[in-house]
Structure 1
């Protein structure tokens, strides 16, 4: 799950930090997002958390980015699939 969240963040690159060689750039953010997912009941909850963490790690402009909803939707989809498979 960690790798999937970090990859989603890197692929969408909400801060413009992708220099083509730093695929681990969003690992700290993934670490702080993951434990908070257990309290989520929807993609909207995930979006709120992603925005809060991006604000904490970066700034308000990054947290307000237009693709955060898409990032949250992907994370929610993976989380829901994993949760259902784990029973």
Structure 2
């Protein structure tokens, strides 16, 4: 079973919703059109188990970029630098 298909705990669901909203707001691959707020749901859910491995903003940036490369491809995901602000916000979200 893929990470995006497994049942989430209440805490994970809350975090996934926050991640999804954050990704949608930043829209790193240009797919947020206003009528598709769940567009980043698979990526948000795929991030959940991998974020526990992170300790720094750089770690989070690596994980977020890797997930987008995995789900899409290197060209569509774009450069790692595209995910810096996202990683900073995710790191702040995880601290709270």
What's the counterpart of residue 29 of structure 1? 43
Moved over 3 A (4+): none
The root-mean-square deviation of aligned C-alpha atoms, in Å, is: 1.2
TM-score, length of structure 1 as denominator length: 0.86
Is 1:10 the counterpart of 2:24 in the alignment? Answer: yes
Residues paired across the two proteins, number: 81
Structure 1: 5+ residue runs without aligned partners? Answer: 82-87
More helix by percentage: 1
TM-score, length of structure 2 as denominator length: 0.78
Structure 2: 5+ residue runs without aligned partners? Answer: 1-14
Which structure carries more relative contact order (alpha carbon 8 Å, separation 6+)?
A: 1
